[in-house]
Amino acid sequence: MFTSVLMIEKALTSADVEFVTTLHGEERVSFEVLLQPRGEQADRLLRAIDDVALGELDDAVREGETPEGEEALSVGQRALEVSLAALRTSGSEARGRLIEDHPLDALKSLVEEVGADEVIVLTDPHYVEEFFHRDWASRARHKVGVPVLKLFSHSKA
């Protein structure tokens, strides 16, 4: 069985689930999902700049409303549960956990722990971080020792 570690920041959409579960054709895939709520990984200014770059001015204005702290963890836990259920419904094995701090350290540990074959980073575009190679995928490529695939979410969850 192929093992993929899937790093996400929000609940997977049905299009996301279909995309990641069909990447390897008919081969069975087991997913280890790491979710860090968006409010925990980037400050409001960077998120607002990303929203402006995407032409989503209304979202940029609402960045101050993004849940953080305990509220983000509660939203994140629900997003994780929804994502795991969707992956399992598609026929894949799936386990997951929330990340509160140091996502790349958690990623590296998990890759080693489960003997992962690859890492898939599935997020909305984060243009500022990507430009400076500070996004999860860019940083993970130098840390985890397995192939890292960067994908963009298909739609807002």
pLDDT in tens, the chain (157 residues): 999 999 998 899 999 999 999 999 989 999 999 998 865 445 555 555 556 665 665 654 454 444 455 554 578 899 999 999 999 999 999 999 999 888 889 999 999 999 999 999 998 776 656 665 557 788 889 889 999 999 888 765 4
Exposure string for 46-83, b = 16+ CB within 10 A, e = fewer = bbbbbbeeeeeeebbeebeebeeeeebbebbeebbeeb
15 near 155, Cβ under 8 Å? Answer: yes
Written as one letter, the residue type at 120 is: I
Give the C-alpha separation, 92 to 29, whole Å: 6
Give the C-alpha separation, 102 to 106, whole Å: 6
The secondary element (H helix, E strand) that includes residue 146 is none
Name residues whose C-beta falls within 8 Å of residue 94's C-beta, 6 or more positions apart in sequence. Answer: 30, 31, 32, 33, 83, 84, 87, 88
Give the C-alpha separation, 138 to 148, whole Å: 8
Residue 126 dihedral angles phi and psi, to the nearest 5°: -130, 80
Does this model's pTM top 0.85? My answer is: no
